[in-house]
Amino acid sequence: MNTMPGRHFLQIPGPTNVPDRVLRAMDMPTIDHRGPEFQAMAERVLAGIRTIFKTDNPVVIYPASGTGAWEAALVNTLSPGDTVLMYETGHFATLWKSLATKLGLKPEFIEGDWRHGADPDSIEARLREDREGRIKAVCVVHNETSTGAVSPIGDVRKAIDAAGHPALLMVDTISSLASIDYRHDEWGVDVTIGGSQKGLMLPPGLSFNAVSDKALSASRGADMSRSYWDWNEMIAMNGNGFFPFTPATNLLYGLDEAIRMLHEEGLDHVFARHARHGEATRRAVQAWGLDVLCAEPAHYSGSLTAVMMPGGHDADQFRKTVLDNFNMSLGNGLSKLAGRVFRIGHLGDFNDLMLLGTLAGVEMGLEVAGVPYRPGGVQEAMNCISRRSGDD
Amino acid sequence: MNTMPGRHFLQIPGPTNVPDRVLRAMDMPTIDHRGPEFQAMAERVLAGIRTIFKTDNPVVIYPASGTGAWEAALVNTLSPGDTVLMYETGHFATLWKSLATKLGLKPEFIEGDWRHGADPDSIEARLREDREGRIKAVCVVHNETSTGAVSPIGDVRKAIDAAGHPALLMVDTISSLASIDYRHDEWGVDVTIGGSQKGLMLPPGLSFNAVSDKALSASRGADMSRSYWDWNEMIAMNGNGFFPFTPATNLLYGLDEAIRMLHEEGLDHVFARHARHGEATRRAVQAWGLDVLCAEPAHYSGSLTAVMMPGGHDADQFRKTVLDNFNMSLGNGLSKLAGRVFRIGHLGDFNDLMLLGTLAGVEMGLEVAGVPYRPGGVQEAMNCISRRSGDD
Amino acid sequence: MNTMPGRHFLQIPGPTNVPDRVLRAMDMPTIDHRGPEFQAMAERVLAGIRTIFKTDNPVVIYPASGTGAWEAALVNTLSPGDTVLMYETGHFATLWKSLATKLGLKPEFIEGDWRHGADPDSIEARLREDREGRIKAVCVVHNETSTGAVSPIGDVRKAIDAAGHPALLMVDTISSLASIDYRHDEWGVDVTIGGSQKGLMLPPGLSFNAVSDKALSASRGADMSRSYWDWNEMIAMNGNGFFPFTPATNLLYGLDEAIRMLHEEGLDHVFARHARHGEATRRAVQAWGLDVLCAEPAHYSGSLTAVMMPGGHDADQFRKTVLDNFNMSLGNGLSKLAGRVFRIGHLGDFNDLMLLGTLAGVEMGLEVAGVPYRPGGVQEAMNCISRRSGDD
Amino acid sequence: MNTMPGRHFLQIPGPTNVPDRVLRAMDMPTIDHRGPEFQAMAERVLAGIRTIFKTDNPVVIYPASGTGAWEAALVNTLSPGDTVLMYETGHFATLWKSLATKLGLKPEFIEGDWRHGADPDSIEARLREDREGRIKAVCVVHNETSTGAVSPIGDVRKAIDAAGHPALLMVDTISSLASIDYRHDEWGVDVTIGGSQKGLMLPPGLSFNAVSDKALSASRGADMSRSYWDWNEMIAMNGNGFFPFTPATNLLYGLDEAIRMLHEEGLDHVFARHARHGEATRRAVQAWGLDVLCAEPAHYSGSLTAVMMPGGHDADQFRKTVLDNFNMSLGNGLSKLAGRVFRIGHLGDFNDLMLLGTLAGVEMGLEVAGVPYRPGGVQEAMNCISRRSGDD
């Protein structure tokens, strides 16, 4: 057990700081998942989660990690050997691609440099080449958690339409949902994948598929074997507020409360808050003389900021210094970024003073670890925040 | 929200009453699942859960319902089109069979009458016929949750051995684990499936595969597509106390505490307590002049008792009377038993007085609902309990 | 720590079983007791608690045990050497008398046999004798927690009026408030003393004085030294939702929730439930062939039942048997009743099945302890409950 | 309810941020305060609390606010009309004096300027004048919560001894206990008053008297009326782990956990941490160009820092700006300091990053509120902290 005094700063880009109201909602006796009290709660949650995805269509809730929801999206809509067009935004896009391969799909991977979101033009170009319609789905990560770069999903939709291509559009919003504006219906997404442990402010253990009519239709002809992930029985039983197998009751209690909290604050305020924290963080990084990994300002993330370590300094050693000295967890660099970047999560149940404490921990960590930097990052962030104060 | 006074009696055969210590353990901030504090906890849990399955081999922990662990057992060890021998002990055995079919396997189903556990002799006979070794696995439910009948797993093992058959043995212990004695290693089980929300006294959301060397070996040649459920990466990363994807951190906190509690009481005392409660419940049922669904005393369950309704009376109507009048949830009859039986769960974090309150609720419910019965069931149960008191 | 499985049955007559909703409400961060969020909560609680005492006048909330509220009632209204007329209903009335003596008051004690509530006629007779008006206050315990006898407060008021005596009427409702009907204003009580840990379903730590205009007026001329207990500053600051010294913030969170729960159920339903449980308990006691301590049916308590042990059997030994075998705490006999009675608390957050579990624990305890009794108490209680079911 | 996102910064000088472990320990069912499980817990707590006061003598625990413990110290040791020498360190010393007056004592008040701790020389001088020994007790506040000035208690003891005066020494440690080094036995204090809601990291609701043999001896001849506060019965029953009236069970659970946490960190580390945070805060204040209220560096407090507002600016308006914009509660100026100072609490369960977030909230608040200041306070605090990092 962590016996350091005070509250741990959990500034990885998820799981995020779970608010007390959510934890306490979960800390209640489990109830009969086939009884009327459960039913009323489930109906409220199943309706409420749609407002977060901004969809009028069903959202399937799995007792599973986000990885499971990736798998669910694919096995419900595709057949063995199908080609899917995926975009290499970073580590998680790459993991999703590997998963597709393991499942017997044929992913085509548009290469990326892990410093940008997906490029709609490249997608359009590739789809135009696919005259036989072999590509069955386009898969994009909205907010790449390994890099802090956001892909322009609305533009990806337009690119698919411009190419006149029938492929399904599948989007991973695991680290953007309820943090960065996202519109399942308006943007014409077919399957949106989400998870509980980021912007939804829950512990890990639930994941989601928001499903368009087109995706449902595709599921009828999809040949991949599936049972646990199968949408059909789930959606049918959800209609009455029940589930085909035992749901993760207490996590649903937490989801119920989290949805309530998001609407109390207002989704637009939630998004503005995350954007403000992203900007303040980038200004701090700049002031320190360090580089933000994301190279395209239009793709900057409100959820997290990946920071490049100066050459000759190991990001994991730095992270350990911060953890040992300041009781703060930062995110590590993943796969080819290992040791070269650290990531600051600023998403979920978070506010200005928590951000300033976080950035102070980074700045003092740079000092203690002997990493070359210029002081003044926290000061810049304060300037940024205090100028904006009261605006949202 | 249930606004009836006092504590709800959750006497379905799972999810069970989650003890306060477990709920409170889960009600703590989520931590970095890639940090040292998590690692120490995970190593303790991964070691501890083996003691519950009574195995020295790995136990894989999924953020998923028990249904997921059923699927995991099959997809890790089998290839498309493989034949599996399953035994119709009741509704859950039937669901598992359907799941196997959906996954592209060919289940052979030994018919049962839903009033007995599995018969080892029938299994042996069928295996002896299978000279070509087409049967790749024998799948049995240890404690059939829909009927309250226990299958003699040790004898099933002996039957397989007597037939000299190489099939894997897979056992569902979802409603018996940590309630009824179970020995993964000693009984030579290859894959044991478990869930969190019954004897382990947790909310639903975790499920388990305990895996023998033979099963691991089979997994190497198994061709079914899999990713989320794949054992290999999981077991490899578990070696260091980590997981390949975000684990359900807070449920693991609860599991850590639940394992501690089970050992504080002592597994043998846990089993004796469940056996005692099963016996007291059956005596009550008998005194009421009703019938226990399980027709074979050697198969009586310590986890739950399914009770047959007198003809002309609907079990669900009776359950509603009990819920509305006495704030107690009883289990319903499933599929072909719907309306014909109700089930009394007496497993998990439970004690004598909770049992007597439960049985009083049933007896008073029979009275209020106008179901013909003889008074005296609670009295018989008290006789049974008080004679035994102090013995374990 | 209690490591016995299942839920402990806390059947002492207070502290009572704290409902999860109340515990969870308390399990939230402490807030600034001088800030606007606290103020809103305090105003709601200060208004709400009046509805429980059934008064439009102020209710003072102390961070203190009930004993403190006894002291507060006296020191705010009396002067050193004042005579108070107290009534010996049992142990707690006797303690209150001792407290008065320690504070320098002169209690006159109307003797009682610890098997009845207060007799209004005796009070009236004594007051009529007091022609000089030396008696400044009449102090009566509404529900004597040591005996389970209820005093007729409305009749005591009438007795005082009939005697034309100006004495204040002070009533201890520590174990009756929110369990047995009580009407501060309608019955003309001047100071009502309450505590948090019984019918209010909170942990101990708060106590109350509901205060009439006449009592407030008396406080202006009262000469006893006081500071912590002083009503004036408290009532003045309460007007704005604040307190003169740091209040027990988290217990107030719990009180806020408890008041909400009581109104969700409805006070009349709360009282009917307690009455029903008292009756069922007495029928069980009778069936066992034991005697209820309270000798006057009109004074029977809905909060608790004190049961006389058969001669030659020690009640504390019996209580230990019940605790060790059945994980249930029963109340002990106090002072002259020590070893001779045990008390069954059936108040607070309680329901029919919890009561039946409780009575089963007593009946089995009698069996295990070798106390002579007739079986059938639980059966009688079930008859009583199931006949009444659905009525309230 | 506060619906601002993220964690509220409760930076008043108490109640302080209650750690999750303490809140969760309190969030458990109340138990029988006369049973063996309670007894074991109480004995552990009663022994443990002595280690916090650094005494081998009894520590009395009241279900009450700190104000109650002030009263208890006086009524147990003194007689009506007794003279007590008190020292005007600030608002709380003044309140204690008023309380003494209300209780019928005659306080002499050594005037102070509310910017220093007590001056031992003045105390010695006054005692030397008191040749008749009319002064029965010297009362000093260790850490004056209204000003952030610490009195040198060891030197006060020496002053009393130097004067050869028999007066008792009573010390209020409400906002210093478990934050600033304090030694009841070594410093020869007769009664130490403490509270739960500051360094002990609990919600308010418990308070303490640590009692020397001399104080106990004085209590035997003390004539003030007392009952609730009476030490004798309390100490007698505490000997067996019980209490004369219902204790605040759940707060005791929290105290048990808090004592455990303090020893896990180590008291010396706790004190060093508070000292470091005091220094960093003062450096920030200085950098902003503002003045710390405490004028004597030797009296600087590790618990809180009172900051003087620039002329023409209202401290309460500033506090409101901070609360509304940054979700942080700061302490107000009390009585003659109202509107002129704000107080930053940095005590209890607190760490470096929480402090930096706090100071950032103050610095940004000064900006938003239009108060003249120089930027750079947070930067100075970071310099101070990062230089010290790893030292304790």
pLDDT in tens, B100-154: 999 999 999 999 999 999 999 999 999 999 999 999 999 999 999 999 999 999 9
> CATH homologous superfamily of domain D9-16+266-388?
Aspartate Aminotransferase, domain 1 (3.90.1150.10)
Asked if B5 lies within 8 A of C358 by C-beta distance, the reply is no
Q: Distance between terminal CA atoms of chain D? A: 38
Q: Where in chain A do CATH 3.40.640.10 domains reside?
A: 20-263
CB B187 within 8 A of CB B196: no
Binding site, annotated residues of A for substrate = 343
Q: What is the pLDDT of residues C210-224, one digit of tens each?
A: 999 999 999 999 999
Alpha-carbon separation of residue B19 from B6, C4, C15 (angstroms)? 16, 11, 20
Asked if pLDDT for residue C29 goes beyond 50, the answer is yes
Exposed e or buried b per residue across B129-142, where buried means at least 16 C-beta atoms within 10 angstroms of its C-beta: eeeeeebbbbbbbb
D17 phi-psi bin (left φ>0, alpha ψ -120 to 50, beta other):
beta
CA quadruple A72, A78, A82, A86: dihedral positive or negative?
A: negative
Q: ∠ CA(D178), CA(D181), CA(D187), 5° rounding? A: 120
Binding site, annotated residues of D = 343
Which residue of D lies nearest to B29 if distances are taken between CA atoms? D20
Nearest by CB: D353 against A265, A360, A389: A360
Pick from C7, C22, C26, C27 the residue to mutate for testing the A interface (most A CBs within 10 Å).
Answer: C27
Under DSSP, is residue C320 helix (H, G, I), strand (E, B) or coil? helix
Under DSSP, is residue B243 helix (H, G, I), strand (E, B) or coil? coil
Q: How are the residues of chain A apportioned to helix, strand and coil, as percentages rounded to the nearest 5?
A: 45, 15, 40
Residue B3, pLDDT score: 72
Which residues are CB-neighbours of C117 under 8 A, at least 6 positions away? C89, C144, C149, C150, C151, C152, C296, C299
CB A185 within 8 A of CB A57: yes
Residue C391, pLDDT score: 46
Asked if A27 lies within 8 A of C28 by C-beta distance, the reply is no
Cβ pairs bridging B and D (under 8 Å):
10
Nearest by CB: B65 against A63, A99, A203: A63
Q: Where are the alpha helices (DSSP H) in B146-248?
A: 153-162, 213-221, 231-238
CB B200 within 8 A of CB B52: yes
Q: Which residues of B touch C391 (CB under 8 A)?
A: none
Q: Distance between terminal CA atoms of chain B? A: 38
CB B143 within 8 A of CB B198: no
Residue with tokens 């004598």: B352
Distance from CA of B361 to the nearest CA of C (A): 6
Q: Distance between terminal CA atoms of chain A? A: 38
Distance from CA of D34 to the nearest CA of C (A): 9
Helix axes D66-77, D91-102, angle to 10 degrees: 50
Asked if C24 lies within 8 A of A24 by C-beta distance, the reply is yes
Nearest by CB: A28 against C20, C28, C29: C20
Asked if B28 lies within 8 A of D24 by C-beta distance, the reply is yes
CATH hierarchy code of domain C20-263: 3.40.640.10
Distance from CA of C7 to the nearest CA of A (A): 12
- The stretch B309-324 carries a mean pLDDT of 98
- For residue B126, say whether it is annotated as part of any ligand binding site: no
Please state the length of chain A.
392
C: neighbours with 3+ CB pairs under 8 Å? Answer: A, B, D
Nearest by CB: A353 against D261, D327, D350: D327
CB-neighbour burial class of residue B335 (10 A; exposed 0-12, middle 13-18, buried 19+): exposed
Asked if C24 lies within 8 A of A29 by C-beta distance, the reply is no
Per the DSSP assignment, residues forming a β-bridge with B307 are B292, B342
Q: Which residues of C touch B268 (CB under 8 A)?
A: none
Residue A248 CA to residue A33 CA, distance in Å, equals 9
Q: Which residues of D touch B20 (CB under 8 A)?
A: 28-29
Distance from CA of D240 to the nearest CA of A (A): 32
Sheet of strand B341-345: strand arrangement: B9-11, B328-332, B341-345, B304-308, B291-292
Under DSSP, is residue C21 helix (H, G, I), strand (E, B) or coil? helix
Q: Where in chain A do CATH 3.90.1150.10 domains reside?
A: 9-16+266-388
Distance from CA of C28 to the nearest CA of A (A): 7
Residue D392, pLDDT score: 43
CB-neighbour burial class of residue B213 (10 A; exposed 0-12, middle 13-18, buried 19+): exposed
Residue D112 CA to residue D96 CA, distance in Å, equals 15
Q: What is the pLDDT of residues A290-301, one digit of tens each?
A: 999 999 999 999
Asked if D17 lies within 8 A of A4 by C-beta distance, the reply is no
Residue C345 CA to residue A90 CA, distance in Å, equals 63
Strand bridging mode D59-63 / D206-211: antiparallel
Exposed e or buried b per residue across B81-102, where buried means at least 16 C-beta atoms within 10 angstroms of its C-beta: ebbbbbbbbbbbbbbbbebbee
Q: Which residues of B touch A106 (CB under 8 A)?
A: none
CB-neighbour burial class of residue B370 (10 A; exposed 0-12, middle 13-18, buried 19+): exposed
Under DSSP, is residue A10 helix (H, G, I), strand (E, B) or coil? strand
Asked if pLDDT for residue A215 goes beyond 60, the answer is yes
Per-residue pLDDT tens, chain D, 392 aa: give them: 567 999 999 999 999 999 999 999 999 999 999 999 999 999 999 999 999 999 999 999 999 999 999 999 999 999 999 999 999 999 999 999 999 999 999 999 999 999 999 999 999 999 999 999 999 999 999 999 999 999 999 999 999 999 999 999 999 999 999 999 999 999 999 999 999 999 999 999 999 999 999 999 999 999 999 999 999 999 999 999 999 999 999 999 999 999 999 999 999 999 999 999 999 999 999 999 999 999 999 999 999 999 999 999 999 999 999 999 999 999 999 999 999 999 999 999 999 999 999 999 999 999 999 999 999 999 999 999 998 664 44
- The pTM of the full predicted model, rounded to 2 decimals, is 0.97
Cβ pairs bridging B and C (under 8 Å):
141
CB B203 within 8 A of CB B254: yes
Which residues are CB-neighbours of C102 under 8 A, at least 6 positions away? D225, D226, D227, D230
Asked if pLDDT for residue C389 goes beyond 70, the answer is no
- The stretch A107-134 carries a mean pLDDT of 98
Nearest by CB: A27 against B23, B80, B102: B23
Residue B195 CA to residue B193 CA, distance in Å, equals 7
The candidate with the shortest Cα–Cα distance to D108, out of D78, D86, D132, is: D86
Q: Which residues of A touch D382 (CB under 8 A)?
A: 360, 363-364, 367, 375, 378
Nearest by CB: C352 against B3, B326, B385: B326
Pick from B353, B356, B379 the residue to mutate for testing the C interface (most C CBs within 10 Å).
Answer: B353
Cis peptide bond upstream of A203, omega within 30: no
Asked if D24 lies within 8 A of B24 by C-beta distance, the reply is yes
- The stretch A18-42 carries a mean pLDDT of 97
Q: ∠ CA(C34), CA(C40), CA(C45), 5° rounding? A: 105
Distance from CA of A201 to the nearest CA of D (A): 10
Q: Quote ipTM for the complex.
A: 0.97
